[in-house]
């Protein structure tokens, strides 16, 4: 039986990746390694937690001794590394936490893999899950390709860029069999409501202001999270050793248009008069160092691995809203406690 350690499996994207692998590959032992920070939530995996090929291990990737102990116990053939501090606004408040988890944590995992594989790399794979933010910001035209220059601006993207460099360095220096993916903005069920879409869904439900940074003309390229999980599966199994693949849906939206669309769909689903929720839109102080535009050229993964997203934005957004409407207890639970403090600090309210 093959064994794969998936880090960050209790988080937003990680939980979808774990589910995809556990269900699709009953002959793989999937070990979900997660520290359960504010963003980790085992409730995201309730439907699969009893399956025999799934196991959860609580551990912090900044703790090398513990990571080595786990690697020696499970002897993974593969690592899919998603654990990270992932929110740009938090990285502006506390950059050091991002260096610890995203840089030091990644190097610890690389060292653990290098030690247990000990030069025997046949059938082994270290898949590092990264972001399009490492490329910095686009102007009004152009797309990020795999050859775009790294030019991160936020402490978050700088820490992810640094981790990407370490992953490549371990391939070039020690021969570690690695593959990288750089994906655009994800959305879907289990998305923590500090991020734009779930935050607005939560605030529309509670009649609270929808905070739009700056003039709202910032552009992101949105991909349904399950399509990201499918792409990870494909690259993990078929991606070229040492290679990297951009993942995106050719689906750009300015923030203000996206939030208006969300308001429209929410009003329809909640049976509220048209334009009710739109009135909650409030322009607030911009994010420092805010990147103007991200957009992925996903030609390589399509050409080499035959990947295409399966869910249109219209379908994905509708499924996402439906999930939050049917899971308001999940939303209530994750927005109690620490979330209230964070919200006050970030939005003064």
Binding segment for ligand NAD among 34-42, 167-175, 206-214, 329-337 (CB under 6 A)?
Answer: 34-42
Binding segment for ligand NAD among 72-80, 179-187, 263-271, 282-290 (CB under 6 A)?
Answer: 179-187
Catalytic residue among 20, 34, 85, 133: 133
- Nearest distance from residue 325's CB to ligand DAU, in Å? 20
Plot region of 230 (φ>0 → left; ψ -120 to 50 → alpha; else → beta): alpha
- Nearest distance from residue 343's CB to ligand NAD, in Å? 16
Instruction: For the beta carbon of residue 272, count every other beta carbon within 10 angstroms.
Output: 13
Nearest to 107 by CA among 75, 70, 71, 61: 61
Contacted by 148, from ligand DAU, ligand NAD, none: CB < 5 to 8 Å by type: none
Contacted by 255, from ligand NAD, ligand DAU, none: CB < 5 to 8 Å by type: ligand DAU
| Residue 35 touching ligand NAD (CB under 6 A) | yes
Q: Is 60 a catalytic residue?
A: no
Q: Is 28 a catalytic residue?
A: no
| DSSP-H helix ranges across 239-279 | 255-270
Q: How far apart are the first and last CA of the chain?
A: 51
Nearer Cβ to ligand DAU, position 131 or 265? 131
Q: Phi and psi (nearest 5°) for 251?
A: -140, 75
Binding segment for ligand NAD among 6-14, 264-272, 273-281, 288-296 (CB under 6 A)?
Answer: 6-14
Given 36, 42, 48, 280, the residue binding ligand NAD (CB under 6 A): 36
Q: Which two tokens stand for residue 318?
A: 């509708």
Measure CA 127 to chain center: 14
- Nearest distance from residue 159's CB to ligand NAD, in Å? 9
Q: Is 329 a catalytic residue?
A: no
| Residue 222 touching ligand NAD (CB under 6 A) | no
Catalytic residue among 20, 132, 194, 233: 132
- Nearest distance from residue 81's CB to ligand DAU, in Å? 14
Residues 6+ apart with CB under 8 A from 101: 61, 62, 83, 84, 85, 159
Interatomic CA distance for residues 91 and 36, integer angstroms: 18
Adjacent-strand bridge partners of 282:
211
- Nearest distance from residue 122's CB to ligand NAD, in Å? 27
Nearer Cβ to ligand DAU, position 171 or 220? 220
Q: Phi and psi (nearest 5°) for 75?
A: 40, 65
Given 78, 105, 239, 249, the residue binding ligand NAD (CB under 6 A): 105
Nearest to 182 by CA among 114, 237, 123, 136: 136
Adjacent-strand bridge partners of 60:
none
Nearest to 301 by CA among 184, 135, 217, 174: 184
Active site residues: 132-133, 156
User: Residue numbers of the site for ligand NAD (CB under 6 A)?
Assistant: 7-8, 10-14, 34-37, 39-40, 60-62, 82-86, 101, 105, 129, 131, 160, 183, 185-186, 192
């Amino acid at each position: 039986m093959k064994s794969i350690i998936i880090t960050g499996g209790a988080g937003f994207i990680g939980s979808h990746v774990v589910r995809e692998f556990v269900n699709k590959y009953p002959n793989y032992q999937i070990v979900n390694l997660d520290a359960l920070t504010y963003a980790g939530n085992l409730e995201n995996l309730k439907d699969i937690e009893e399956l025999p090929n799934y196991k959860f291990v609580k551990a912090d990737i900044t703790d090398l001794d513990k990571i080595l102990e786990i690697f020696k116990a499970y002897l993974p053939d593969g690592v899919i590394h998603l654990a990270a501090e992932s929110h740009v606004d938090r990285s502006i408040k506390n950059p050091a936490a991002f260096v610890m988890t995203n840089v030091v944590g990644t190097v610890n995992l690389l060292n653990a893999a290098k030690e247990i594989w000990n030069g025997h790399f046949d059938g082994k794979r270290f898949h590092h899950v990264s972001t399009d933010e490492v490329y910095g910001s686009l102007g009004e035209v152009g797309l990020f390709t795999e050859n775009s220059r790294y030019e991160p601006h936020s402490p978050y993207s700088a820490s992810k860029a640094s981790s990407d460099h370490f992953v490549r360095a371990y391939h070039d220096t020690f021969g570690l069999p690695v593959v990288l993916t750089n994906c655009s903005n994800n959305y879907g069920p289990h998305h923590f409501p500090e991020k734009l879409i779930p935050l607005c869904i939560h605030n529309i439900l509670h009649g609270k202001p929808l905070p739009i940074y700056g003039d709202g003309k910032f552009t992101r390229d949105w991909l349904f999270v399950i399509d990201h999980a499918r792409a990870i599966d494909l690259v993990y199994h078929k991606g070229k050793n040492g290679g990297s693949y951009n993942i995106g849906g050719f689906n750009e939206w300015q923030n203000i248009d996206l939030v208006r669309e969300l308001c429209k769909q929410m009003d329809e689903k909640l049976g509220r008069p048209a334009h009710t929720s739109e009135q909650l839109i409030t322009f607030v102080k911009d994010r420092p160092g805010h990147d103007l535009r991200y957009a992925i050229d996903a030609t390589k993964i399509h050409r080499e691995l035959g990947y295409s997203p399966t869910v249109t934005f219209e379908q994905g957004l509708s499924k996402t809203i439906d999930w939050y409407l049917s899971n308001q207890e999940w939303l209530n639970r994750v927005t109690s406690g620490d979330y209230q403090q964070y919200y006050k600090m970030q939005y003064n309210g």
